[in-house]
Amino acid sequence: MKVSIIVPTYNGGSTLKKCVTSLSAQTYTDIEIIIVNDGSTDNTATLATSLAHGDDRIQVITQENGGVSAARNTGIKAATGDILMFVDGDDYVDPDYCRLAVENMTTYESDICIMGYLREEGASIEKHLLAHPVGLMAKDEVMVKTSDLDMGNFVGCKAFRAYLFEHVQFLEGKNYEDIRIFYQLVELAAKISYCPVTTYHYVQHPNSIVTTLSKRNIRDSLEAATVQYEYFARNYPQAAQAAHEYLLVVAVRYCLYMEHDDLYNQAQRYLRELPIPAGLKKKKYRWPMILFKRLPFTWGLVRWAAQRLQPAK
The three state secondary structure string of 8-20 is: EECCCCCCHHHHH
Res 212 pLDDT > 80: no
Residue 208's pLDDT is 66
The per-residue b/e assignment along 227-241, b for 16 or more CB within 10 angstroms, e otherwise, is ebbebbeeebeebbb
pLDDT confidence bin for 205, thresholds 50/70/90:
confident
The per-residue pLDDT of the chain, averaged, comes to 94
Q: Which residues pair with 3 in a beta bridge?
A: 31, 83
Residues 283 and 36: their CA atoms lie apart, in Å, by 38
pLDDT confidence bin for 219, thresholds 50/70/90:
very high
Distance of CA 80 to the CA centre of its chain: 23
Give tens-digit pLDDT for 15-42: 999 999 999 999 999 999 999 999 999 9
120 and 204 Cβ atoms separated by less than 8 Å: yes
pLDDT confidence bin for 111, thresholds 50/70/90:
very high
Res 311 pLDDT > 80: no
Let me know the angle formed at the C-alpha of 84 by 81 and 87, rounded to the nearest 5 degrees: 130
16 and 51 Cβ atoms separated by less than 8 Å: yes
Which residue type sits at 223?
E
Residue 211's pLDDT is 66
Give tens-digit pLDDT for 41-95: 999 999 999 999 989 999 999 999 999 999 999 999 999 999 999 999 999 999 9
Strand order in the sheet with 200-203: 92-93, 200-203, 117-121, 124-128
Res 305 pLDDT > 90: no
| Mean pLDDT within 205-217 | 77
Residues 226 and 215: their CA atoms lie apart, in Å, by 17
Which residue type sits at 303?
R
Res 240 pLDDT > 70: yes
Of all residues in the chain, the percent with pLDDT exceeding 90 is 83
| Mean pLDDT within 273-280 | 89
Nearest alpha-carbon partner for 157 in 121, 139, 191, 182: 182
**To 10 degrees, what angle do helices 286-294 and 262-273 make?**
90
Residues 37 and 293: their CA atoms lie apart, in Å, by 46
Residues 114 and 148: their CA atoms lie apart, in Å, by 13
